[in-house]
Structure 1
Amino acid sequence: MTVGGVIVSDGRTSRGERADGRRGWQLTSAYTAAVAAGVLLLAVGVLAGRADLALIGVPGLLAAAWARSGRPGSVVGPGTVADADDDAAAVPRGTLREPEGSATAGELIATLHVAPGAADVVHLRIGAAGHRTTEVALHATPARDVPLRLSSVRTGPQDTFAIDLRGSLHATWEQEPVQVGGTRRLVLPAAAPLGRLPLPQRLRGLTGPHSSRRLGDGAELRDIHPFTPGDRLRRIDWRTTARRSPDLDTLYVRRTYATAEATAVLVVDSRDDVGPDLHTWRGYGTLRVDEPTSLDLARHAAASVARALVEGGDRVGLEDLARRRRPLPPASGRRHLRRIVHGLALAHPKDRASVHRVRPPQVPADAIVYLFTTVLDDEPLHLVRTWRAKGHPVVVIDTLPDVHPVTESHLRIAWRIARLERDDRLAALTGEGVPVIRWAGSARDQATIRFEALARAAERHVPGRTGTP
């Protein structure tokens, strides 16, 4: 975390109030030390008959008396000064301003607007979850904006800046620390560019970017056929008609494949949110902000797939396994893409006992399913087999992060058992013909190549269609 960046807003203001509701200042330890030293020197000088020693303590007492008389006040009206305990205007205040709307993963920015009041120095302690605390002392001006930056690869609801603000005057008076910020922001996942994606064999809809296997208006030629009732006159191929029927006894038309759009459903298994550190799997410890968890990877992968499909003109829906809310139905367009990304950012795990599904999520007919899961239990296998039995092609995206090695023997044995069980599930999926694409570590760079290979393989097995399947 650095102090220095761009200005942003949320409108949360701290007014410098104590826990008991009173506002004000208190004397510092420097004032107490000056008075004690002055009194001690003066007493020792008088008792010892040392006038020079007594005079040394007098300036400290005079300075303390002057500082005491200069109690911070605030201007209420023209020529009027109020007691600092009665008027909050003398107390330094801070307003944390954050940008409206949701943030994007990578860097969060905000600005702390400081109104110093009667203080001449403002002390800031700036912290955030997973970051080191930064302490800053600012020379007070009539008003100051302190730009803040926060780097993180995490997505979803995230804690932002928590700031303690304290003002001081002449190193004698200091304000009791007040808290500014401490809000949570929704960080949206970013989308990586992908190429072609595997699509269902049967396309639905009356129009779209792909060529279907049914007759209709399109750009891909199917055959030349004699004119029949219902054919459009503009489809007549006069050259073929003149060659095959010089007397114009039979008219020939050019028949084409109709265009259609594909339907895809993104199913995010948000029941688990595990990081690379096995110690955090037990619910203890803090997840690092520079290491994405399994749910962060799932959000990123799903946002990338959704963007590629929507930009290709297809329809995309979203289903969250951990939440029994109404799913997002398949639709297209950039506005719908924003709804999907926002829904992905809201996905979070809940109690596993309360989210057990009796039946898999409903998927529209002739839709392909993209399942984003860690495959840490048998539930994904049950879902995939049910969808495939109903004729839906399924692509599994493995979102488990690369696990760090551990030294504890019990953790090492537990992870070895869990990894072997997980490898058996992945092998079972591969053996049943379900493609599994890894989305973690260095394997993420190969995901685009895997998607392209799956799209080309689907083209070879679909008769009557060329281009994207």
Structure 2
Amino acid sequence: MTVGGIIVARGRTYGSPVDGHPGWRPTSAYTAAVTVGILLLATSVLAGRADIALIGIPGLLAATWAHASRPTTPLRADLHEPAGPTAPGELTATLRLAAGPGEGADVVHLRITAPGHRTTHLTLAARPQNHAQRQAQKQAHGQTQDREVPLGLSSVRTGPQQTFTVDLRGSLHGAWEEEPTQVRAATRLVLPGAAPLGRLPLPRRLRGLTGPHSARRLGDGTELRDIHPFTPGDRLRRIDWRTTARRSPELDTLYVRRTYSTAEATAVLVVDSRDEVGPDVRTWRGYGTIRVDEPTSLDLARHAAASVATALVEAGDRVGLEDLARRRRPLPPSAGRRHLRRLVHGLALAHPKDPASAHRVRPPQLPADAIVYLFTTLLDDDPLHLVRIWRAAGHPVVVIDTLPDVHPVIESHLAIAWHIGRLEREDRIAALDGEGIPVVRWAGSQRDQAAVRFEALAHAARRHIPGRTP
């Protein structure tokens, strides 16, 4: 967590301002000055020594001056952040301290906390120290003097994130202090980023009468299929006069150039958000806190899905989204930049639900001739069941493995449990590979090889289409 100048990040937080007069109370220093001064005066009278009274008089005078200048206005504070969802990296906010026109706090003590970050303690002046800033604020806001404190924290996590909680207490001359108050930021939505990808695997059958890809059926397009004699229904602009002159000099038969029609592909992104695990096995059962500088399996799934969706939408294909942990209506396949923003927003909202209600009786219904991109950790057998059902229905499936690289386990019982779980996961991956279902790893150093793997899968799929050449 940082306090000071921070790179601006998009995001929104609703701060809860301090409402009403929180109340002032004397500090222990004020009480000690009064008590010690009275005791010294009483001792000087009883002992008949004036020098003892001279020691206690300064403390009483200071307490009297502090009582005469007691504060009359509370210190107000609220958090402000830029509007809209944010991107992973730097999360920022601005803490605004508003000192009223009357006598108020001159020093404010702050305790700034955020999940996964160390607590920061800070003491600063409640009013701007720069004379030009004070004059500008007086002209803009009357006599109110606001102090803005930039806050920032770093995190690679995506989705709904809890950010800043600020506990503050104002003080005046070290003799008066306010009751502690708290300003809490609302949950921020961090959108996943996208990595550049090349060609992606597509379904064997394309849909629609137009699109960026060449289909296997005849129609208007740019890719030549063959040269064929003219038949009723062929367009005159398709006549190849050179071929006609060479094959039929008497023009008895006209020859036309037949092309493959263009169409668009339909893809459905299925995110397995039933659980969220990090690199530390000790946190898998809810014990401990997942570090904010290490992405979880759901963070990797969001990033991978956003990358695939961006590549498909930019290619002109239709993309839909299905979340296995949610019962709400999925995003139907569509195209366009606006739909891509809806997809990324839906990915950011994906998070685990109650395990008891996460079991699905039936797999998600998919459009005909759609390819499925399944993002899962493969820690149980449910993904294999879904993949086999989709394959039986004729849908090609690509599985993206989103389990992060697991740290070495020290505890013996956890090491044994992870060893068994890892062997079971390897058996599932081997079963998918044996059934001809590709599995692409999206974690650690293997993430950089995902684009190459997708390119190879797209090339292999195009090569095996009947009647087509790679």
Q: What is the TM-score of this pair, normalised by structure 1?
A: 0.92
Q: 1:99 is matched with which residue?
A: 82
Larger mean CA deviation between 357-366 and 257-266 belongs to 357-366
Render the CA deviation track for 1:183-234: whole Å, top value 9, x for unaligned. 1111111111111111111111111111111111111111111111111111
Q: 1:319 is matched with which residue?
A: 322
The CA distance in 2 between the partners of 1:145 and 1:210, in whole Å, is 54
1:354 deviates by 1.5
Larger mean CA deviation between 416-425 and 48-57 belongs to 48-57
The CA distance in 1 between the partners of 2:417 and 2:359, in whole Å, is 24
The CA distance in 2 between the partners of 1:353 and 1:140, in whole Å, is 50
The CA distance in 1 between the partners of 2:411 and 2:251, in whole Å, is 88
1:403 deviates by 1.4
Aligned residue type for 1:59: P
Render the CA deviation track for 1:344-391: whole Å, top value 9, x for unaligned. 111111222312122211111111111111111110111111111111
Q: 1:76 is matched with which residue?
A: none
The partner residue of 1:354 within 346, 354, 357 is: 357
Larger mean CA deviation between 49-58 and 298-307 belongs to 49-58
Q: 2:121 is matched with which residue?
A: 135
Q: 1:2 is matched with which residue?
A: 2
Larger mean CA deviation between 351-360 and 4-13 belongs to 4-13
1:10 deviates by 4.3
- Is this contact kept in 2: 1:226–1:253, CA < 8 A? yes
1:404 deviates by 1.6
The CA distance in 1 between the partners of 2:52 and 2:356, in whole Å, is 78
The CA distance in 2 between the partners of 1:251 and 1:360, in whole Å, is 53
The partner residue of 2:268 within 265, 270, 273 is: 265
Render the CA deviation track for 1:45-71: whole Å, top value 9, x for unaligned. 333333223202101101101101211
Report SS of the residue matched to 2:284. helix
1:162 deviates by 0.5
Q: 1:334 is matched with which residue?
A: 337
Aligned residue type for 1:152: S
Alignment of 1:71 with 2:70, yes or no, is yes
- RMSD across aligned positions (CA): 1.6
Render the CA deviation track for 1:2-22: whole Å, top value 9, x for unaligned. 0122677645342255xxxx6
Larger mean CA deviation between 425-434 and 401-410 belongs to 401-410
The CA distance in 1 between the partners of 2:283 and 2:40, in whole Å, is 58
The CA distance in 2 between the partners of 1:217 and 1:123, in whole Å, is 72
Cα distance change of structure 1 residues 284 and 14 upon mapping to structure 2, 3 Å threshold: same
The CA distance in 2 between the partners of 1:387 and 1:284, in whole Å, is 36
Q: 2:141 is matched with which residue?
A: none
Render the CA deviation track for 1:91-114: whole Å, top value 9, x for unaligned. 111121112121111111111111
**Aligned residue-pair number:** 447
1:40 deviates by 3.1
Aligned residue type for 1:373: T
Q: 1:42 is matched with which residue?
A: 41
Aligned residue type for 1:338: R
1:282 deviates by 1.5
Q: 1:296 is matched with which residue?
A: 299
Render the CA deviation track for 1:128-177: whole Å, top value 9, x for unaligned. 01111112222122112111112111111110111112111111111111
- Is this contact kept in 2: 1:399–1:440, CA < 8 A? yes
Report SS of the residue matched to 2:262. strand
The CA distance in 2 between the partners of 1:182 and 1:238, in whole Å, is 73
Larger mean CA deviation between 408-417 and 305-314 belongs to 408-417
The CA distance in 1 between the partners of 2:462 and 2:242, in whole Å, is 32
Aligned residue type for 2:434: G
Q: 2:156 is matched with which residue?
A: 153
- Is this contact kept in 2: 1:373–1:380, CA < 8 A? yes
Alignment of 1:218 with 2:204, yes or no, is no
1:124 deviates by 1.6
Q: 1:80 is matched with which residue?
A: none
Larger mean CA deviation between 452-461 and 297-306 belongs to 452-461
Identity %: 77
Aligned residue type for 1:411: L
The CA distance in 2 between the partners of 1:144 and 1:9, in whole Å, is 20
Q: 1:397 is matched with which residue?
A: 400
The partner residue of 1:411 within 406, 414, 424 is: 414
The CA distance in 1 between the partners of 2:312 and 2:435, in whole Å, is 25
Report SS of the residue matched to 1:104. coil
The CA distance in 1 between the partners of 2:13 and 2:277, in whole Å, is 31
The CA distance in 2 between the partners of 1:110 and 1:431, in whole Å, is 51
Aligned residue type for 1:40: L
- Is this contact kept in 1: 2:14–2:186, CA < 8 A? no
The CA distance in 1 between the partners of 2:12 and 2:424, in whole Å, is 48
Cα distance change of structure 1 residues 333 and 256 upon mapping to structure 2, 3 Å threshold: same
The CA distance in 1 between the partners of 2:433 and 2:31, in whole Å, is 75
Report SS of the residue matched to 1:174. strand
Alignment of 1:114 with 2:114, yes or no, is no
- Is this contact kept in 2: 1:16–1:91, CA < 8 A? no
1:246 deviates by 2.4
The CA distance in 2 between the partners of 1:220 and 1:11, in whole Å, is 55
Cα distance change of structure 1 residues 466 and 261 upon mapping to structure 2, 3 Å threshold: farther
Report SS of the residue matched to 1:189. coil
- Is this contact kept in 2: 1:236–1:254, CA < 8 A? yes
Larger mean CA deviation between 22-31 and 332-341 belongs to 22-31
The CA distance in 1 between the partners of 2:416 and 2:7, in whole Å, is 48
1:432 deviates by 1.0
Q: 2:165 is matched with which residue?
A: 162
Report SS of the residue matched to 1:136. strand
- After the TM superposition, which residues 250-261 of structure 1 pair with which residues of structure 2 at under 5 Å, given as runs? 250-261=253-264
Report SS of the residue matched to 1:405. coil
